[in-house]
């Protein structure tokens, strides 16, 4: 399965939204102010950990996409025997951090890959059984959300599943 994922290069995108984001952050990734990434939990999203434990994730050579993967914690948490996960992020710095973190965590790198590319123009080698969107949708201006929906539909296999976590709410059950 690992042979189907190809590490991408950051694209010279003509997508107006991508161009504008790059203008706003000076062409750099979210670490444009070093160490200022308040959205980075430093670990997998609690909902992902519970989902992985639940035994309900697709298996048997399933492919999963995590767009806007950031540091890659959720990518590694969702990966496992029978599941290959692709973490996609526009930010080359985030992808480099994801690769570094996953190596340091001694994760099985044959079960996932990280790609730096534009979600709206990236052409994966195959479609996905599951897409896990953790606050990726929320990052887009409402005018871009129809394009998000269209692209999600294009990337999913027929009968594929889309899981979206719109806003991260951590509730202690103790």
Domain-located, residue 90: yes
102: domain CATH number is 3.40.50.150
Domain-located, residue 98: yes
Condensed to tens digits (0 to 9), the pLDDT of residues 50-60 reads 888 888 887 78
**How far is 5 from 125, CA to CA, in rounded Å?**
7
Domain-located, residue 171: no
What pLDDT sits at residue 5?
Answer: 33
Domain-located, residue 136: yes
**How far is 62 from 82, CA to CA, in rounded Å?**
6
* Single pTM value for the model: 0.75
Least confident interval from 23-32, 64-73, 115-124 = 23-32
**How far is 81 from 96, CA to CA, in rounded Å?**
24
Calculate the average pLDDT of the chain: 78
Condensed to tens digits (0 to 9), the pLDDT of residues 75-98 reads 999 998 889 999 999 888 889 989
**Better pLDDT: 119 or 56:** 119
User: What range defines the domain where residue 6 resides?
Assistant: 2-34+45-165
| Residue 23: burial class (beta carbons within 10 Å; 0-12, 13-18, 19+) | exposed
pLDDT band of residue 1 (cuts 50, 70, 90) is very low
Q: Where are the alpha helices (DSSP H) in the chain?
A: 16-24, 46-54, 73-78, 92-104, 145-155
Structural domains in the chain (count): 1
What pLDDT sits at residue 150?
Answer: 96
- Per-residue pLDDT for 149 more than 80? yes
Domain-located, residue 170: no
Domain-located, residue 21: yes
């Amino acid at each position: 399965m690992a042979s189907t994922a190809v590490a991408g290069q950051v694209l010279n995108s003509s997508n107006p939204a991508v161009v504008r984001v790059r203008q706003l952050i000076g062409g750099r990734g979210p670490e444009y102010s070093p160490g200022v990434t308040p959205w980075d939990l430093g670990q997998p999203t609690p909902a992902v950990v519970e989902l992985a434990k639940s035994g309900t994730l697709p298996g048997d050579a399933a492919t999963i996409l995590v767009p806007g993967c950031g540091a890659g914690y959720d990518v590694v948490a969702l990966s496992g025997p029978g599941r290959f996960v692709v973490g996609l992020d526009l930010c080359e710095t985030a992808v480099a951090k994801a690769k570094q973190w996953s190596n340091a965590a001694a994760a099985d790198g044959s079960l996932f890959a990280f790609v730096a590319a534009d979600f709206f123009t990236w052409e994966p080698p195959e479609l996905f059984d599951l897409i896990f969107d953790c606050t990726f949708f929320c990052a887009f201006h409402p005018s871009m959300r129809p394009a998000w929906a269209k692209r999600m539909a294009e990337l999913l296999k027929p009968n594929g599943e889309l899981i979206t976590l719109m806003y991260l709410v951590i509730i202690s059950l103790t």
